Chains A and B, each alone.
Chain A
Amino acid sequence: MSLNLEDVARIARLARIELSAAEREATRDQLNDILGFIEQLQAVDTTGIEPMAHAVDVVQRLRPDVVTETDRRADFQAVAPETEAGLYLVPRVVE
């Protein structure tokens, strides 16, 4: 499987990373090198093997339903790029 420029553009759009035309070409070549390297996985027979999503084979621990947090908006918004009236501001969202 080899990526073309359109694939790279599509992936970059999904990932929300702007790439210039020149970057797109370089990225295509690098990604294809990496994908070529990864390709060796395809040769392995994994029939019947259960995928391993976690490093440990235990089940999820659950939290009691208790409110533990207090208002720290001022602390958190001190590092925010743009806020007003307690809201985070972003360019207008069109629905």
Chain B
Amino acid sequence: MTRTTQWEVVIGLETHAQLQTKSKIFSGSSIAFGAEPNVQANAVDIALPGVLPVLNREAVVCAIKFGLAVGATIAPRSVFARKNYFYPDLPKGYQISQFEIPVVLGGGLHIRVGEAEKFVHLTRAHLEEDAGKSLHEDFHGRTGIDLNRAGTPLLEIVTEPEMRSSAEAVAYAKALHALVQWIGICDGNMQEGSFRCDANVSVRPMGQKEFGTRREIKNLNSFRFMQQAIDFEVQWQINEIEEGRSIQQATVLFDPDTGETRSMRSKEDAHDYRYFPDPDLLPLEITPGWIDEVKSGLPELPQAMKQRFETDYGLSSYDAATLTASREMAAYFEVVLALAGRENAKPAANWVMGDLAARLNKDGLEIAAAPLSAQQLAGIICRIADNTISNKIARDVFEALWTGDGKDADAVIEAKGWKQITDTGAIEALVDEVLAANQKSVEEYRAGKEKAFNALVGQAMKATRGKANPQQVTDLLKKKLGA
């Protein structure tokens, strides 16, 4: 193998999405985040002798919603299995999961990296229970176990090993993150661990058919860490191979402080999980009628909405994709459009993706918390469209509404006297004044200096304090100068 080998990166992602139910997957405990340790761990969650699991219907509904959203097959009969291993945050000594027959099979997601689009196939998605948490702060050199999280419903979503760069992996993770929130099955809160990714990473010489040996990076809880961890891991694997060492299958952790991945020490013998069908849980049946019922309650899905934005509103694929990146943004945009009219689709898109997005970003806000309502933004766009204000003034109106200075665009324009001057007579008088006061520029223009014309426009606009329609001013100036 020479140093000039071109390497291909192969990535598959496994994502654990906590489902937005009220109670746990197999017990009636609350799943609210942030409670005192173990107060949300009831008899079933702490696995007292004799207790039994009973499946939460809503967790199944979430799985069906997801299956429908990714165009997957929903298994008419699926089976819960026990995954056996010992760990202090796993009270039963086994995790109830699905193994041979998961609830969701196949399907996939459209992702976008720059201009390139790609469809990432899913292998499966299955229901399982979350484990508790081990707290490693010092309790006299001991570890503390909090089982509040134990039994929180999870959907584990597994891709085919189809991603070829960290950028693709992140694009997939973001698309999935948006989708699970879009269909309302997961709150997507990565800080609180509601959406966690494991990345299976391997490299192989370009053109080789067989996969390289993979290492699994566990618990990536931000997109930035995911990118850093995969990039580090890929480089590490390439170095190992190029230096003549082989890769051993391993589970690794990413350390955000060092930006490096390292092998976990504790799970070396945990690989014989002895899966078998859970005798406490009978087969899960999902009838076509139930699927139809869930389907009728699903919102329009992002991919369908993107198509609609392109065909109905004439937006570009890029704009449509950006606007449908989250359900909230899409909903906001649709309200703006409903009020501003379809003919304003492009300016509305620009405002939402441009000024609004930038302002939200500056204040660190989600669109749902935007101080400027969709109605208010529509008002601004309407006033631009009917020439009441210029784009420049519109930005000032936007800022005024953002900071709560006025109830709508009309009120702000009225109060500030920002109404564009459209009275031709008034503008003509202003233009005459400007020409009289700037004879030098007039002469320069007549001598052929185009720049001088711009200076005259600037002076005219200044005289109107920005309220004149720039096109109207230009036209009048040209007329007066006999151009």
- Identify the A interface with B (CB < 8 A): 13-14, 16, 53-54, 56, 58-69, 71-73, 76-77, 82, 84-95
Q: Quick check: B38 and A63 within 8 Å, CB to CB?
A: no
Q: Does B264 contact A (CB under 8 A)?
A: yes
In the complex, the 5 A-B pairs of residues with the closest C-beta atoms, listed nearest first: A68-B28, A87-B144, A65-B58, A62-B57, A59-B285
Q: Does B373 contact A (CB under 8 A)?
A: no
Q: Quick check: A69 and B55 within 8 Å, CB to CB?
A: no
B105-145 to A contact mask, C-beta < 8 Å, 1/0: 00000000000000000000000000000111001011111
Contact of A60 among B21, B272, B284 (CB under 8 A): B284
Q: Tell me which of B28, B36, B136 has the highest count of chain A C-beta atoms within 10 A of its own C-beta.
A: B28
Q: Quick check: B144 and A64 within 8 Å, CB to CB?
A: no
Query: Which residues does chain A contribute within 8 Å of B46, judged by CB atoms?
Result: 76
Q: Does B147 contact A (CB under 8 A)?
A: yes
From B273-281, B358-366, B400-408, B475-483, the one touching the partner chain is B273-281
Q: Quick check: A63 and B57 within 8 Å, CB to CB?
A: yes
Q: Quick check: A90 and B145 within 8 Å, CB to CB?
A: yes
Please measure, in the bound complex, the distance between the C-alpha atom of A77 and the C-alpha atom of B141, giving whole angstroms: 20
Interface size class of B (residues with CB under 8 A): 35 or more
Q: Quick check: B144 and A89 within 8 Å, CB to CB?
A: yes
B38-51 to A contact mask, C-beta < 8 Å, 1/0: 11111100101000
Q: Quick check: B38 and A73 within 8 Å, CB to CB?
A: yes
* Further 20 A-B residue pairs, CB within 8 A, beyond A72-B42, A82-B142, A88-B38: A54-B282, A59-B283, A59-B284, A60-B281, A61-B54, A63-B54, A65-B23, A65-B57, A66-B22, A67-B29, A67-B30, A69-B27, A86-B36, A86-B38, A87-B135, A90-B143, A92-B143, A93-B143, A95-B264, A95-B266
Please measure, in the bound complex, the distance between the C-alpha atom of A59 and the C-alpha atom of B79, giving whole angstroms: 10
Closest Cβ–Cβ distance, residue A29 to chain B (whole Å): 23
Q: Quick check: A69 and B145 within 8 Å, CB to CB?
A: no
Contact of A13 among B139, B269, B281, B284 (CB under 8 A): B269
- Count how many pairs of residues, one from A and one from B, have CB atoms less than 8 Å apart in the complex: 126
Q: Quick check: A85 and B43 within 8 Å, CB to CB?
A: no
Residue of A nearest to B88 (CB): A90
Closest Cβ–Cβ distance, residue B260 to chain A (whole Å): 15
Q: Quick check: A66 and B28 within 8 Å, CB to CB?
A: yes
Residue of B nearest to A58 (CB): B282
Q: Quick check: B282 and A66 within 8 Å, CB to CB?
A: no
Closest Cβ–Cβ distance, residue B143 to chain A (whole Å): 4
- For this complex, 6 residue pairs linking A to B, each with C-beta atoms less than 8 Å apart, are A16-B86, A65-B23, A66-B28, A67-B23, A71-B39, A72-B42
Q: Quick check: A60 and B282 within 8 Å, CB to CB?
A: yes
B53-93 to A contact mask, C-beta < 8 Å, 1/0: 01111111000000000000000010100000010100000
Q: Does B146 contact A (CB under 8 A)?
A: yes
Query: Which residues does chain B contribute within 8 Å of A85, judged by CB atoms?
Result: 37, 139, 144
Closest Cβ–Cβ distance, residue B142 to chain A (whole Å): 5
Q: Tell me which of A77, A84, A90 has the highest count of chain B C-beta atoms within 10 A of its own C-beta.
A: A90
Please measure, in the bound complex, the distance between the C-alpha atom of A25 and the C-alpha atom of B245, giving whole angstroms: 40
Query: Which residues does chain B contribute within 8 Å of A69, judged by CB atoms?
Result: 27-30, 40, 42-43
Closest Cβ–Cβ distance, residue B79 to chain A (whole Å): 8
Please measure, in the bound complex, the distance between the C-alpha atom of A82 and the C-alpha atom of B139, giving whole angstroms: 11
Q: Tell me which of A58, A61, A71 has the highest count of chain B C-beta atoms within 10 A of its own C-beta.
A: A71
B8-36 to A contact mask, C-beta < 8 Å, 1/0: 00000000000001110001111000001
Closest Cβ–Cβ distance, residue B475 to chain A (whole Å): 66
Query: Which residues does chain A contribute within 8 Å of B39, judged by CB atoms?
Result: 71, 73, 86
Contacting residues of chain B (225-274) with chain A, CB-CB under 8 angstroms? 253, 264-266, 269, 272, 274
